[in-house]
A and B are shown apart, each in its own frame.
Chain A
Amino acid sequence: MHLDDAAAVARAKGGDEDAFRVLVERHSRNIYRLAYRMTGRPEDAQDVVQDTFVRAYRQLARFEARSNFATWLYRIGFNCAIDHLRARPHRETGEAHDVLDRRPQPNDGLSPDDLVFAGEIGDRLRNALGDLSAQERAAFLMRHYHGCTIEEISGALNLKTNAAKHAVFRAVRKMRVALRAMHAVADGAPKLKWEA
């Protein structure tokens, strides 16, 4: 079935499960990425994906046709992920760490010194991401990894535009502070790959 989001939503609202399946299959990878970055664990991310679509189905009647379905779904996805984290507070601090642990390692053509240096950056980013509040993390992830505009973030997270903007700014500031010491060291060290 080839339907754009608006047509699929209209049909799904009328009870057409095949149309809803189109939406699930089209957006599930993006919601998985979002959920993984928020929770840091594949099994938790899969639960969040499922919760997101079930919640979306239940709330479909409330979706307004003029809105962007993907953004609306992000909002539900982030809220599901935040609920998931709140339900498991003892695991929250470890989750961002897992994300970074599993990142592709920049080992192509790097010297052992470079690898040590990149590893230290990873450690600092890991801690910085782990220290972000759920709202800051959500806003930063939406902006940085999912290309959402500030307007979209404010709509998705139900924040005023300024609050959404400042959530991103705070996140960047914390990460920048975390890496600042590394930059100071880098002044007298070989440049990082991205500075080449």
Chain B
Amino acid sequence: MTDTRPQTHPGDDELVLHFYGELPADERARIDAHLGACAACQAAWAEIRDTLRAADAVDVPEPPDGFERIVWARVSAALPPRRPLVTWRALVPLSAVAALVVAVVAGPRLWPTDRAAGGRAAVAPSAADIRDARERALFAALGGHFEQTELLLVELMNTPEPMDDGFEFARLAASDLVASGRLYRATAEETGHRVLAAMLEDLEPVLVEVARGPEHVDRETVRSLRARIDDEDLLFKVRAVSTDPRDR
């Protein structure tokens, strides 16, 4: 007995695409013609169509009036704070500051003596006083260090390409941040602030890459650098830690 059914039946997956209008016009026409003549395919089509229409009954309650304003209030509160219009081009040399901080942190011998009472013997600070002073000096210095690292990363991410002369400034700033970062890292490790030390360690490779970069960078280099900053989420991390290094 000859099979009189039309050939080339559409598969179920094709029927799903047909339902969603994802097939080219000639395919759609072919399937429509086929469905008009093939009872088996018609049954499959009806089942798929009814299933997907049943899913339409799943609706979402509309959010309340003013929802957009509520969302913006929540989002804007969570955005990183806007910075004053200072760029890394105006950064002061950081390595000198770092050296000073390290001298204070590592040199309790420099602790001031109390000679106010007519030349009496110096009052030796307690161990707790020394520890507090070292932490204060480290945290104060790191706040500025992370903030300036953030400014550099923001500039790198947003300066239009090609960066040309801009990259020379970035190299200088990065070089300074690498030098000061290493000093802070050593101090952070010495004083037991391992998370801060790890954060500084995470930042160093990309800063080194910038510092050692060519005088004039091509687009590919800039993009690769940006992708790295993005992939490692460095901007987010540095923003989080610069809010208050003590929290880390």
Tell me whether A and B are bound partners: yes
Distance between B41 CB and nearest chain A CB, rounded to angstroms: 15
Distance between A178 CB and nearest chain B CB, rounded to angstroms: 8
Question: Known contacts being A24-B71, A50-B71, A54-B79, is A100 close to B51, with CB within 8 Å?
Answer: no
Interface mask (B211-248 → A, CB under 8 Å = 1, otherwise 0): 00000000000000011001000011000000000000
Stretch at the interface among B59-67, B104-112, B127-135, B177-185: B59-67
Interface mask (A25-44 → B, CB under 8 Å = 1, otherwise 0): 10011001100110000100
Distance between B16 CB and nearest chain A CB, rounded to angstroms: 5
Distance between B75 CB and nearest chain A CB, rounded to angstroms: 4
Q: Is the CB of B50 within 8 A of A195?
A: yes
**B8 close to A (CB within 8 Å):** no
Which of under 10, 10 to 19, 20 to 34, or 35 or more describes the interface residues of A?
A: 35 or more
Q: Is the CB of B72 within 8 A of A192?
A: no
**A21 close to B (CB within 8 Å):** yes
A144 neighbours in B (Cβ, 8 Å): 20, 52, 55
Q: Is the CB of A149 within 8 A of B22?
A: yes
In the assembled complex, the Cα of A61 lies from the Cα of B157 at a distance in Å of 6
A143 neighbours in B (Cβ, 8 Å): 20
Within A146-195, the residues touching B (CB, 8 Å) are: 149-150, 165, 168-169, 172-173, 175-176, 179-180, 183, 192, 194-195
Select from chain A the residue with minimum beta-carbon distance to B85. Answer: A15
Interchain pairs with CB closer than 8 A, number:
120
Q: Is the CB of A24 within 8 A of B12?
A: no
Q: Is the CB of B235 within 8 A of A175?
A: no
Q: CB within 8 A of B58: which of A20, A59, A125?
A: A125
Q: Is the CB of A61 within 8 A of B226?
A: yes
Select from chain A the residue with minimum beta-carbon distance to B227. Answer: A62
Q: Is the CB of A165 within 8 A of B13?
A: yes
**A17 close to B (CB within 8 Å):** yes
In the assembled complex, the Cα of A121 lies from the Cα of B54 at a distance in Å of 8
Which of under 10, 10 to 19, 20 to 34, or 35 or more describes the interface residues of B?
A: 35 or more
Question: Known contacts being A17-B76, A62-B230, is A172 close to B52, with CB within 8 Å?
Answer: yes
Q: CB within 8 A of B158: which of A13, A17, A25, A50?
A: A13
Q: Is the CB of A194 within 8 A of B47?
A: no
B230 neighbours in A (Cβ, 8 Å): 59, 61-62
Say whether chain B's binding surface is mostly helix, strand, loop, or mixed.
helix
Within A54-69, the residues touching B (CB, 8 Å) are: 54, 57-59, 61-62
**B120 close to A (CB within 8 Å):** no
**A74 close to B (CB within 8 Å):** no
Distance between A78 CB and nearest chain B CB, rounded to angstroms: 15
Q: Is the CB of B235 within 8 A of A58?
A: yes
A61 neighbours in B (Cβ, 8 Å): 157-158, 226, 230
In the assembled complex, the Cα of A104 lies from the Cα of B63 at a distance in Å of 15
B16 neighbours in A (Cβ, 8 Å): 168-169, 172
**B78 close to A (CB within 8 Å):** yes
**A99 close to B (CB within 8 Å):** yes
B226 neighbours in A (Cβ, 8 Å): 61-62
Distance between A66 CB and nearest chain B CB, rounded to angstroms: 15
Distance between A174 CB and nearest chain B CB, rounded to angstroms: 10
Give B contacts to A, CB under 8 Å: 12-13, 16-17, 20, 22, 46-48, 50-55, 57-63, 67-69, 71-72, 74-76, 78-80, 82, 157-158, 226-227, 230, 235-236
**Can you list 7 pairs linking A and B with CB atoms under 8 Å apart?**
A50-B74, A125-B54, A125-B55, A144-B20, A168-B16, A179-B54, A195-B50
A169-B13, A176-B51, A179-B50 known, 17 other contacts, Cβ within 8 Å? A14-B158, A15-B82, A17-B82, A21-B72, A28-B68, A28-B71, A53-B75, A54-B79, A58-B80, A58-B235, A99-B60, A102-B61, A125-B54, A172-B48, A183-B50, A192-B54, A194-B54
Q: Which 6 A-B pairs have the closest CB atoms?
A: A25-B68, A61-B157, A28-B71, A53-B75, A194-B53, A176-B51
